[in-house]
Chains A and B, each alone.
Chain A
């Protein structure tokens, strides 16, 4: 018999973990001499109070959708992909090469081909750690961490030595061609009569991210491959007994995970910056970990968590602008969310399980 009802596992525990993270964040704000309630109202106003704020919230959320899904897909196979940051960096490199050297007639074709390039590069960057895990048993957590650093060095080298336009000072590519510029939410929503901020970076890739959620949901729960991935994650021995090849499944899972991280570049590189800069990913690969943990590795949960972190990012930027609270507050909140929903999960879970068991005994 289950120790507690499903809703408690899916809703109650994440909410309690989130509350704990929020309470400690409030204490941290108090400790540095600011008011938590004022900070919260400023964040809500800055992130959700205008279409401009929403535009940024949704822009960040789009990034986190891709990286969160990537971590979630890998987690279903029992793999912890910490390499999202590097995969997204290399995805950006692939996308930049496509957008710089192939002329496009229309943004939709550009998005398709550039997305392909970004996904392929991201997948390729995940392929080596995946192969080493599958074939040689090297721990994927360590190899993906190492590949994040190697990716940063590769990107640095490519930008400084190969992609930087002649005579330019900062290490970044030239601006992409006009046809590769994606329509923003302002342009999409104007025809249906919604006035959306012109200067906010949210763009059409938000819908690509939402589509990715649906695709991942279908993949994990309604395809043979998804079944294999979940079986491997539950028990490797069981999976082998059922005739599933761990090597093949690990490879395919990590390629999908890497491709999803790579796809993030369609939003941050193609949609917003419209050129590749050195620190384009801004830690989004790591936020994917928090998003996947909070979302319980389910695409709908990832969607909600991505919006929440989008709100935190935009709200945090507003805080840094108007108060003495630096935007690193968000890093602390992110850490607390990972700590409570991930590492300290049992601390929240065990008392609640006890309560449910006690309740059931009373009823019986």
Chain B
């Protein structure tokens, strides 16, 4: 494998890791506040559909993004209603949301577009396109030189290859997702809101005693969760791909959940876990099977690896993954 192929795989890793990272941070906010969320998948799917649908209808990708976030927030609100207001089972609520999204997206897509549960393919103005950073080789240089972009990059030097292929040329949402990592860390560990949010996930009674509303904090946490899932879904349908197709999240919400456990509910580790799982997806996408010293790793192993790794982590063989203590339990205010 030559250097350029390696960079291309890493470039693809960044793209594949972006929705995982956004969803993983979404789950981080929710679970740190004591609300389990296995409905990340559903929120992403709903956001993917509405962002693509509105972008297709209006031709404006920013309106699409807003619609995606709104749809994801609506599901978040439902999750909050069930698991905070009515103190229902958070896991069951998450399962219900996933099915709701999986059914509703196809139902509405069929009713609006009649294309077998998909939206029309998005044209350039309906998508988040790659941003060319200064001094990087991009499509405009290729046009000016009249040669294909891949040829220009292949002839460039190593630093330029790294910069143009790996760092430049992603859509704005990719950069947003990577910036969300330090931001999440800062909010959670350097602000009063973050301290309270973590406290409500460990010991809500203590927060309540201090005169702070547990309900309001938890709703704030799942609203942030909805926002991030909305961006993740919009990236899938309008950045990574050009339009919505049925079940397009294909388990990414669960991989994000796995990454969250893998990262033991910490933002910087979440980045590492998502890049690792993104790399697995990128490799599985590019190579059908991998030769490793005469032994062939089948592609199915690559598909299953994130889940297997998560089970190993959960089993406590590689350090223990301890979730926030009050996670999953509805808070009943003492009278």
Residues of A within 8 A of B (CB): 28, 31-33, 80, 82, 128, 132, 136-139, 141-143, 145-147, 149-150, 153-154, 156-157, 160-161, 286, 289, 293, 324-326, 328-336, 338-339, 342-347, 350
Bound complex: CA A157 to CA B315 (Å): 25
Given contacts A132-B314, A149-B254, A342 and B88 within 8 Å (CB-CB): yes
The interface bits of chain B over 298-314 (1 if a CB of A lies within 8 angstroms of the residue's CB, else 0) are 10110110011011001
Beta-carbon contact of A343 and B93 below 8 Å:
yes
Nearest opposing residue in chain A for B298, CB measure: A157
Residues of A contacting B102 in the complex (Cβ-Cβ under 8 angstroms): 328, 331, 335
The interface bits of chain B over 70-93 (1 if a CB of A lies within 8 angstroms of the residue's CB, else 0) are 000000001001110011111111
Bound complex: CA A347 to CA B254 (Å): 28
Beta-carbon contact of B103 and A329 below 8 Å:
yes
Given contacts A153-B303, A153-B304, A326-B110, A346 and B86 within 8 Å (CB-CB): yes
Beta-carbon contact of B99 and A28 below 8 Å:
no
Beta-carbon contact of A334 and B103 below 8 Å:
yes
Beta-carbon contact of B307 and A336 below 8 Å:
no
B58 part of interface (Cβ distance < 8 Å): no
Residues of B contacting A145 in the complex (Cβ-Cβ under 8 angstroms): 38, 254, 257
B117 part of interface (Cβ distance < 8 Å): yes
Residues of A contacting B78 in the complex (Cβ-Cβ under 8 angstroms): 339
Residues of A contacting B323 in the complex (Cβ-Cβ under 8 angstroms): 139
Identify 27 residue pairs between A and B in the complex whose beta-carbon atoms are under 8 Å apart, listed by A's number. A28-B107, A32-B110, A82-B91, A132-B314, A139-B314, A142-B257, A145-B38, A146-B308, A149-B303, A160-B300, A293-B92, A326-B106, A328-B110, A331-B99, A331-B102, A332-B107, A334-B99, A335-B103, A338-B95, A339-B78, A339-B93, A339-B96, A342-B88, A342-B89, A344-B82, A344-B88, A347-B82
Beta-carbon contact of A342 and B314 below 8 Å:
no
Q: Which 6 A-B pairs give the minimum distances between C-beta atoms?
A: A331-B103, A343-B93, A335-B99, A332-B103, A153-B304, A32-B111
Bound complex: CA A31 to CA B112 (Å): 11
B108 part of interface (Cβ distance < 8 Å): yes
The interface bits of chain B over 250-278 (1 if a CB of A lies within 8 angstroms of the residue's CB, else 0) are 01001001100100000000000000000
Given contacts A326-B110, A329-B107, A330-B103, A149 and B93 within 8 Å (CB-CB): no
B48 part of interface (Cβ distance < 8 Å): no
Nearest opposing residue in chain B for A29, CB measure: B107
Given contacts A141-B91, A338-B96, A28 and B311 within 8 Å (CB-CB): no
Contact among A82, A128, A153, A345 with B95 in the assembled complex (CB-CB below 8 Å): A82
B319 part of interface (Cβ distance < 8 Å): no
Beta-carbon contact of A153 and B300 below 8 Å:
yes
Beta-carbon contact of A150 and B307 below 8 Å:
yes
Bound complex: CA A347 to CA B83 (Å): 11
Beta-carbon contact of B107 and A154 below 8 Å:
no
Residues of B contacting A31 in the complex (Cβ-Cβ under 8 angstroms): 108, 111
B182 part of interface (Cβ distance < 8 Å): no
- Distance (whole angstroms) from the CB of A90 to the closest CB of chain B: 13
B215 part of interface (Cβ distance < 8 Å): no
- Decide if the interface of chain B is mainly helix, strand, loop or mixed: helix
B283 part of interface (Cβ distance < 8 Å): no
Beta-carbon contact of B88 and A346 below 8 Å:
yes
- Distance (whole angstroms) from the CB of B176 to the closest CB of chain A: 28
Beta-carbon contact of A328 and B106 below 8 Å:
yes
Nearest opposing residue in chain B for A156, CB measure: B300
- Distance (whole angstroms) from the CB of B332 to the closest CB of chain A: 11
Nearest opposing residue in chain B for A153, CB measure: B304
Beta-carbon contact of B92 and A338 below 8 Å:
yes
Contact among B87, B92, B316 with A136 in the assembled complex (CB-CB below 8 Å): B316
Residues of A contacting B86 in the complex (Cβ-Cβ under 8 angstroms): 343-347, 350
Beta-carbon contact of A343 and B96 below 8 Å:
yes
Bound complex: CA A157 to CA B261 (Å): 27
Nearest opposing residue in chain A for B102, CB measure: A331
Residues of A contacting B100 in the complex (Cβ-Cβ under 8 angstroms): 332, 335-336, 339
B217 part of interface (Cβ distance < 8 Å): no
Residues of B contacting A33 in the complex (Cβ-Cβ under 8 angstroms): 111
Beta-carbon contact of A324 and B300 below 8 Å:
no
Given contacts A145-B254, A347-B86, A326 and B95 within 8 Å (CB-CB): no
Bound complex: CA A269 to CA B23 (Å): 36
Residues of A contacting B88 in the complex (Cβ-Cβ under 8 angstroms): 342-347
Bound complex: CA A358 to CA B100 (Å): 36
Residues of B contacting A336 in the complex (Cβ-Cβ under 8 angstroms): 96, 100
Contact among B82, B104, B258 with A146 in the assembled complex (CB-CB below 8 Å): B258
Residues of B contacting A286 in the complex (Cβ-Cβ under 8 angstroms): 95, 99
Residues of B contacting A136 in the complex (Cβ-Cβ under 8 angstroms): 314-316
Bound complex: CA A41 to CA B81 (Å): 33
Residues of B contacting A326 in the complex (Cβ-Cβ under 8 angstroms): 106-107, 110, 117
Bound complex: CA A161 to CA B298 (Å): 9
Contact among B82, B117, B251, B258 with A343 in the assembled complex (CB-CB below 8 Å): B82
B197 part of interface (Cβ distance < 8 Å): no
Which of B87, B102, B103, B298 has the most C-beta atoms of chain A within 10 angstroms of its own C-beta? B103
Beta-carbon contact of A141 and B38 below 8 Å:
yes
Contact among B92, B107, B303 with A328 in the assembled complex (CB-CB below 8 Å): B107
Bound complex: CA A97 to CA B110 (Å): 40
Given contacts A32-B111, A143-B314, A331-B102, A80 and B91 within 8 Å (CB-CB): yes
Bound complex: CA A339 to CA B304 (Å): 29
The interface bits of chain B over 45-77 (1 if a CB of A lies within 8 angstroms of the residue's CB, else 0) are 000000000000000000000000000000000
- Distance (whole angstroms) from the CB of B85 to the closest CB of chain A: 8
B221 part of interface (Cβ distance < 8 Å): no
Which of A128, A143, A153 has the most C-beta atoms of chain B within 10 angstroms of its own C-beta? A153
- Distance (whole angstroms) from the CB of B227 to the closest CB of chain A: 22
Residues of A contacting B308 in the complex (Cβ-Cβ under 8 angstroms): 146, 150
Contact among B95, B103, B106, B300 with A289 in the assembled complex (CB-CB below 8 Å): B95
B174 part of interface (Cβ distance < 8 Å): no
Which of B78, B111, B254 has the most C-beta atoms of chain A within 10 angstroms of its own C-beta? B111
- Distance (whole angstroms) from the CB of A348 to the closest CB of chain B: 9
Beta-carbon contact of B311 and A146 below 8 Å:
yes
Which of B38, B96, B98, B114 has the most C-beta atoms of chain A within 10 angstroms of its own C-beta? B96
Which of A147, A156, A289, A335 has the most C-beta atoms of chain B within 10 angstroms of its own C-beta? A335
Bound complex: CA A142 to CA B38 (Å): 9
Bound complex: CA A218 to CA B114 (Å): 50
Beta-carbon contact of B92 and A342 below 8 Å:
yes
Bound complex: CA A138 to CA B319 (Å): 12
